[in-house]
Amino acid sequence: MLVICQSTSATDYLFLNGKSDYSIVIQDDASVSEHTAAKDFQSVIRQISGVTLPIVTRSARKGIYIGWTPQTGVPQPKNTDESFTHKTIGNSLYIFGGCERGTMYGVFRFLERELGVHWYTSSFTKITKRKNYALPSLSHSEKPVIRQRLDFYYDALRHHDWVAHNLLNTQYLLANTPYGNMSSYWGIHTLEKLIPPSKYFRTHPEYFSVYKGRRSDKAQLCLSNASMLRELTKNLLEAIAKNPGYWCYDVSQNDNPWPCECPACQRLTKKYGGHSGAMIWFVNQVANQVKQIYPDIYIGTFAYKYTRQAPKSDIKPAGNVVVRLCDIECCMAHPLETCEKNRDFLSDMNDWRKITKNIYIWDYTTGFRHYLLPFPNFTVLAANFRYFSKSSVIGILEEGVHNVPWGEFSELKQWLIAKLMWNPYQNTDSLATQFINDYYGKAAPYIKRYYDLCQRQVSDSNHFSVKLDYNADIFSKRFIDEGMVLIQRALTAVANNSTELKRTQRIAAQLYYLKLRRNTTTSTIDGTIKQLQNIIKDDHTTIDEQGTTIDEFLKIHKL
């Protein structure tokens, strides 16, 4: 990254006191995303200054040129190049990169970096009005550290504009948007989707795993069955034809720990050095058939739980196979690379790297049993992204609170992840402080102190995973008492601002829920249950990934 800032003459104002002599210039052959970027630039500048810059396709004496032109003096970037440059030439500014997304990212970063525009959530963009902006002399370039970046949180999965504005490039479901040809990966745990038990189990029980001595429609598939392999491949090819446009299509184990125990599958497992070897043997055959028809498509599979270890044999994933390596068992309190609890994962990563260049990480960032429970893993995010980058992974999925609008610090965490996946060499605490100050208003000083308090509970000897529970040592009575003081001050500070109060109540829910789970009797007497109910009643969420509502929870526990 190169940044050079020099002084500018007084006449080079992009806008001054409601006036401007600048135009936004796009090329006649500008891409869809470059048109979008030009319109967004025009809209944001109007909101900041009251000035509407015209969008033109002809040269301008003073122009904001969006998209590469020969005047930049550099070779034209590849269409898919996501790097970008801000470059001043004379009185004009040139923002350019690859036409699919690079130029667009450059426009959004200019607005963020130079004019303080921040797309924090799908419903809150910080835009600060100002009377003038003197255009400096710029020569600034950036490029992403991680190639494929999927923020698996509620906003990111549903709001393509938020994804693009925060320089992400992957959608979960393929959709036509004005924000460039974003990539999408089709499917998760697809064996049961490609060979659905409801369709096949009655007529072809031999397609399904032997579990505890009998075929089961609740387990995996019998990978050694040649007829099932042909049927699955046929069904996958039909799925590709019906769902075109994904770069990778999933053929992966179901989300249960019951691989087939039949003699033929056991021989495969022994021959290919473990369950992962048998799975790679199976997926390679599917991938080879797909390649005959779709030579540019990849087939993905999981290295997950019983398949996480790389095969202990000479089998390798085919060149068009992607291995999605999951770290669900790992300690989430400390960086993967430095925690003794994560040595096995690091070993698995190194073993997979020896046999494939196509590793895609599935990482986890919250507790799925308790969406509302504090999950203080902020310090590991950037460190893990740096480790993944050093390991040359081709992409990362960061799974958090994905199926409801909010959980523990989910708005902050989702935004931090987007920032750090682009550049993990930023300071996490500085970014968090910025978000908290802008998002929580007068409650910000207390929310920041609570954020710091949460992170201080993590020591070298404290380890937790996605199964973090309410009775963990890090949640001491002292932590709860100190946290409650800060939360009450935060709530008081924003009592007259309904928007900031709602945001602050989402933080308060962490401690209300923690108190409820640790002592239901006290929580009934002191009103904690009623406070939590009131927050969730007015602002829907669930208490876990399975969708349990607070009322269902209270009914189950007779509260």
pLDDT(484) > 80: yes
Say which amino acid occupies 35: H
CB 406 within 8 A of CB 541: yes
pLDDT in tens, 56-106: 999 999 999 999 999 999 999 999 999 999 999 999 999 999 999 999 999
pLDDT digits (tens, 9 = 90+) for 357-383: 999 999 999 999 999 999 999 999 999
CA 101 to chain CA centroid, nearest Å: 18
- Dihedral sign (CA 297, 303, 305, 307): positive
Task: Tell me how far apart the alpha carbons of residues 210 and 410 are, in angstroms, rounded to a whole number.
Answer: 41
pLDDT at 45: 98
Torsion of CA 54, 56, 62, 67, to 10 degrees: 120
Specify the pairing of strand 63-66 against strand 23-26: parallel
2: pLDDT confidence band, cut at 50, 70 and 90? very low
62 and 91 in contact (C-beta within 8 Å)?
Answer: yes
Residue with the two structure tokens 């036409």: 99
Tell me what percent of the residues of the chain surpass a pLDDT of 90: 97
With a CB cutoff of 8 Å and minimum separation 6, the contacts of 478 are none
CA 213 – CA 261 distance, rounded (Å)? 8
Task: Give the pLDDT score at 11.
Answer: 62
The pLDDT, as a whole number, for residue 210 is: 98
Task: Kindly tell me if the per-residue pLDDT of 6 is higher than 80.
Answer: no
Beta strands in 365-451 (DSSP E): 395-399
Cite the DSSP H helix spans in 195-262: 197-200, 226-242
Helix (H, G, I), strand (E, B) or coil at 60: coil
Of the two residues 540 and 468, the one the predictor is more confident about is 468
- The full set of domains in the chain, from first to last, is 2-142 (3.30.379.10), 187-326 (3.20.20.80), 444-556 (no CATH)
Q: How confident is the model at residue 7 (pLDDT cuts 50, 70, 90)?
A: very low
Rounded mean pLDDT, 330-346: 98
Looking at the chain, the whole-number percentage of residues with pLDDT higher than 70 is 98
> For residue 21, is pLDDT > 90?
yes
- Residue 363 region, left (φ>0) first, then alpha (ψ -120 to 50), else beta? beta
Confidence of residue 559 (pLDDT cuts 50, 70, 90): confident
